[in-house]
Every structure is written in C-alpha cells, then in structure tokens.
Amino acid sequence: MAPAEDRDLGHEFDPRFRVISVTARGAPLRTLPSMNAPIKNDRIEWLQGPSADGAAKCSSIPAGRKNPWRLVLLGAPGVGKGTQAELLTERLGACHLSTGDVFRAASKRKDCDQSPAMVAALDYMRRGELVPDSTVWEMVRERSHCILGCGGFILDGFPRTLGQAESLKELMETESIALSAVVNYELPLDEIVERLSGRRTCEQCKAVFHVTERPSKGGAICDRCGGRLYQREDDRPESITVRLEAYERSTAPLIQFYRNLGVLTPVVAKGTPDEILGRTMKGLDRANDRVKTA
Ligand code: AP5
C-alpha cells in the first residue's frame, strides 16, 4: 500500500484540479501527485472580499468534491503554518485562507480604499496585537462563501480566539458541515523566535524565505520573480514578544476547545517542511480513520 502521505486519505481526489497559490513559499515537492500542470488560484475573492461591482473573481476555484478537506491550522506565530498551508493546498486541493494575508493585502491598498475598521486593524497588526474579534469576524463573514464552498479550505490564522472559534462553529453548523481536523503545530519557543526573526518575504510575489534555513539564492532579491525581499513589520523583536504573548493568552486555549470536540491532531513542527508535511498527512490519515469508525 502507498504510504499515507501519498494517498488521498479516502477523500475524493479530482485530478483536474491543481492549485498554486500566489503566496507559494517553497520549491514544489516532486513527490506531490497533483503538481504537474499548475493551475493558478490567486485567492482574489478571499484576499479582496466582495466589491460593489463583483469584480474580484478567483481565476480557478476548487472543483466540488464528495468529502472536501476542511482544516484549521493552529500554532504559534512563526511555527510554519503558512508554509504547511501552501504544501497542503497543493496536496489536498482545498483553498488556503489566511486572515493575516487579507490584512497584508489591505495594507497595500491606497488609503482611501481602506475602511476605518481596516485602518485600525492594521495598527493592531503592526504592533503585534490581535485585531478585535468584531473586525475579524466581519471580514470573515463577508467572505464566508470561501469557507462554505464545496472544494474545502485550509484556515491559517483563523480562528485565534474562543469567540472566533464559536462563530466559525455556528457558521458551519448552519450549513451542516463539519471540520475534518484541526492541526496543531508544536515547536519549542527558541526555534519559533528563530523562524520569525529570520523570515524574509518577497514584496512582489509574497514568497517566504528564511535567511539561513530557506535562503533565496539571490540574497536580498527573490529568486522566483526578482522582487525585493523585506522583513515584515511585525517580525521585529518588539512585535514578536507581543505576538507570542497574545498567542499564549488568546489562541492557546483553542487547543483544549478543539480537543474537547475530538478533532485535534497534534503535529511536531521540527525538521524540514517536507518532513512536517509527511507527519501532517499521517495525522490526517488517522483523523480520517477516526471519522470512518465513529
Ligand atoms: P498571521 O499572518 O496569521 O501571522 P502568524 O499567525 O503570526 O503567523 P506567521 O505568518 O507569522 O507565521 P507562520 O506560522 O505562518 O509561519 P511561516 O510559514 O511564515 O497574522 C499576522 C497578524 O494579523 C496577527 O499578529 C494579528 O495582528 C492579525 N491577525 C490575523 N488573523 C487574526 C485573527 N484571526 N484574529 C486577530 N488578529 C488576526 O514560517 C515562518 C518562517 O519560518 C519563514 O521564514 C519560513 O521560511 C520558516 N520556516 C517554515 N517552516 C520551516 C521549517 N520546517 N524549517 C525551517 N524554517 C521554516
């Protein structure tokens, strides 16, 4: 039998659908079964939200599947959720939905395009604090079709508080859909700080590098698109401390919340991204077996 990470875990796989997200952060894995002809998924409806003229339309959306993957990725800032979300998107064909990416996309818009709530949210983000639940939920609620779509999702950075988790649960219950699993990535604090402080992001294509662990061959220039690499404002030492405190205070309690719901899948986040992906797929395999025998 093929290893767990090379199977589709009982979820229906549609070979016509392949995804590369605009924030692709690593070299594609050669072992991935769904990688030969990338179809672009720019996630524009998630990143931009609804507009009056309905102009924002994803260039491809996941094909409907019988049992789409609906995942939440939990873990401290910098543990590698975004990196894994990219790899899981390629493997599982569900949309990568990151609330942090929505805020960063909004920060690039002209000032006059930003609502007062968004301007305030970006201030919270720069300081490393959590954006208030009401703003986050408003933003997610108006994009709820991305969550309720029949291709599935990989939520990265949401929910982050018990209030947000309750709101997500209610939304999904109204549509009679359930989470497949909540993956909790675990890594010692010193390694988390090292990952955060060494992160560099391409200002053009949003690819993510690390100065020592995953350096760009072009140094301060992105070796994918030639864009300039920059350090995120909230990756500076003073913001990192605030973010880690906010995680401990507000997000860590979600681990017990999801454990109580029977959907928590812990994954050790040490090693290379490929190794962590392999562990994640094995964890999802077990979660899938649990659902089948329940
Ligand atoms: P968000 O963008 O969600 O940031 P985060 O959760 O802090 O997560 P990060 O993006 O910092 O890290 P990551 O775990 O994705 O790690 P990555 O893969 O990049 O949120 C930003 C802000 O927005 C928040 O602080 C808040 O203000 C606001 N916000 C967003 N959502 C909110 C919500 N729901 N409620 C309230 N506020 C909200 O990896 C990190 C580095 O490590 C990279 O350099 C990478 O190359 C490297 N790396 C990854 N994997 C490995 C590996 N295996 N080995 C070595 N290096 C690795």
pLDDT in tens, 171-206: 999 999 999 999 999 999 999 999 999 999 998 888
Residues whose CB falls within 8 Å of the CB of residue 275, separated by 6 or more in sequence, listed in order: none
Q: Which helix (H) or strand (E) holds 186?
A: strand 181-186
Q: What's the pLDDT score for residue 31?
A: 30
In the prediction, which pLDDT does 28 show?
34
Question: Distance of CA 94 to CAs 15, 78, 103, Å?
Answer: 13, 22, 21
Outline where 61-186 has alpha helix (H).
81-92, 99-107, 116-127, 133-141, 144-148, 162-174
8 Å CB contact between 205 and 222: yes
Q: Which residues of the chain have pLDDT under 50?
A: 1-40
Residue nearest to atom 39 of ligand 1 (CA): 80
Instruction: Say how many Å lie between the first and final Cα of the chain, rounded.
Output: 24
Protein residue with least CA distance to atom 40, ligand 1:
78
Instruction: Compute the distance from residue 52 Cα to the ligand 1 centre, in Å.
Output: 31
- Is 96 a pocket residue for ligand 1 (Cβ < 6 Å)? no
Q: pLDDT tens, 138-165?
A: 999 999 989 998 889 999 999 999 999 9
* pTM for this prediction: 0.85
- Evaluate whether 146 touches 44 at the Cβ level (below 8 Å): no
Helix axes 237-246, 116-127, angle to 10 degrees: 100
Q: 128: closest CA among 253, 254, 246?
A: 246
| Angstrom distances, CA of residue 228 to CA of 1, 216, 218, 219 | 45, 11, 10, 10
List the residue whose alpha carbon is closest to atom 30 of ligand 1: 100
Counting from 1 in the atom list of ligand 1, the atom nearest the Cα of 185 is: 14
d(CA 130, CA 89): 26
Ligand 1 probe mutation, 25, 99, 197, 280, most atoms within 8 A of CB: 99
**Count of Cβ atoms closer than 10 Å to residue 174 Cβ:** 10
Contact present, 34 and 11 (Cβ < 8 Å) = no
